[in-house]
Structure 1
Amino acid sequence: MSHATFYIIDDADPEARLKLAGQQAAWWYQQGQSVFLLAETREQAEWLDEYLWQQDPDNFVPHNLIGEGPRQGSPVEIGWPGLRHSGRRAILINLSQDAPNFAVTFAQVVDFVPCEEKLKQQARERYKAYRLAGIQLQTTPAPESP
């Protein structure tokens, strides 16, 4: 059964959610998990790609945008709606507005509840969609940034 964790973000900075997604991708990679990071747009995916490249070399996360890198993708693959990720992955980090219909194929889904009201409402709709898909849900405050 799939599980989903919604992180409540108190920071109003639009990049706070993106940075947390990048940090989550790094954490899951360090746990030996393969990750698909689903951005809302290609531009957001490219921002995340650059963000992961800028991390300290000791915390390097092998990653690529869909269509780049090795055939099976690297441990962290970044995509956007309309593209298929390459192969089976354990973790989905969702930044898109909707709950992807393929979320149930992942063991763990990471999603976010931003503090802006419109984005918070979208998170509520994703929560409902995950619940209807039979995914076990939990909500927790976002971890502190390193």
Structure 2
Amino acid sequence: MTHATFYMIDETHLAADNDYLLHFACHQAAMSYRQGQKVYILAESKAQAEHIDEYLWQQEPDNFVPHNLIGEGPRGGSPVEIGWPELRHSGRRGILINLSQHAPNFAVTFSQVIDFVPCDEKLKQLARERYKLYRQAGIQLQTATAPDTP
């Protein structure tokens, strides 16, 4: 059964770090990788996926996370794969980190989904829609407050 956690992002997170959501998503991917999990990060767009890829390349060597954009890297992808809605991920992975504004129809193929509730009202409404779609798909849901520093 798939479980999803929606992390609440508030204005204090964004005031402290303009790219908080991206940093937090990458931190979650790194933690999951260190626990032996394979991760798929679903970006909103190709541009955002490339930005995430670049961010992960800029980490210190001790914090490096093997990753690639879909279509690059080894056959079957590396432990952390980054894609966007027009593409299909390379295979079975345990964790989906959803940065897209929509609920992917393949979310139920993951054991865990990480999603976000931004403070912007329009984006918050889109998060509510994703929450409903996940619930209709039989995914177990919970919410949590995002930490102050990822």
TM-score higher than 0.5 = yes
Helix, strand or coil at the partner of 2:82: strand
Q: Find the counterpart in structure 2 of residue 142 from structure 1.
A: 146
Q: Structure 1 residues 144, 56: closer, same or farther in 2, change over 3 A?
A: farther
Matches within 5 A, 1:108-123: 108-123=112-127
How many angstroms apart in 2 are the aligned matches of 1:119 and 1:18? 15
TM-score, structure 1 normalization: 0.96
Q: Could you tell me which of 131, 134, 144 is aligned with 1:130?
A: 134
AA matched with 1:7: Y
Residue by residue over 1:28-60, the C-alpha shift from the partner in whole angstroms, topping out at 9 and shown as x without a partner, is 101110000000000000010011111121111
Matches within 5 A, 1:22-101: 22-101=26-105
* Structure 2 segments unaligned to the other structure (5+ residues): none
* Structure 1 segments unaligned to the other structure (5+ residues): none
AA matched with 1:9: I
Helix, strand or coil at the partner of 2:19: helix
Instruction: Please report how far the alpha carbon of residue 63 of structure 1 lies from its aligned counterpart in structure 2 after TM superposition.
Output: 0.1
RMSD over aligned Cα, in angstroms?
1.0
AA matched with 1:38: L
How many angstroms apart in 2 are the aligned matches of 1:72 and 1:79? 13
AA matched with 1:129: L
How many angstroms apart in 2 are the aligned matches of 1:89 and 1:111? 16
AA matched with 1:34: K
Residue by residue over 1:53-86, the C-alpha shift from the partner in whole angstroms, topping out at 9 and shown as x without a partner, is 1112111100000010001100000000010111
Q: Find the counterpart in structure 1 of residue 110 from structure 2.
A: 106
TM-score, structure 2 normalization: 0.94
Q: How many equivalent residue pairs?
A: 146
Q: Find the counterpart in structure 2 of residue 2 from structure 1.
A: 2
Instruction: Please report how far the alpha carbon of residue 14 of structure 1 lies from its aligned counterpart in structure 2 after TM superposition.
Output: 5.0
Give the fraction of aligned pairs with identical amino acids, expressed as a percent. Answer: 74
AA matched with 1:75: P
Q: Find the counterpart in structure 2 of residue 19 from structure 1.
A: 23
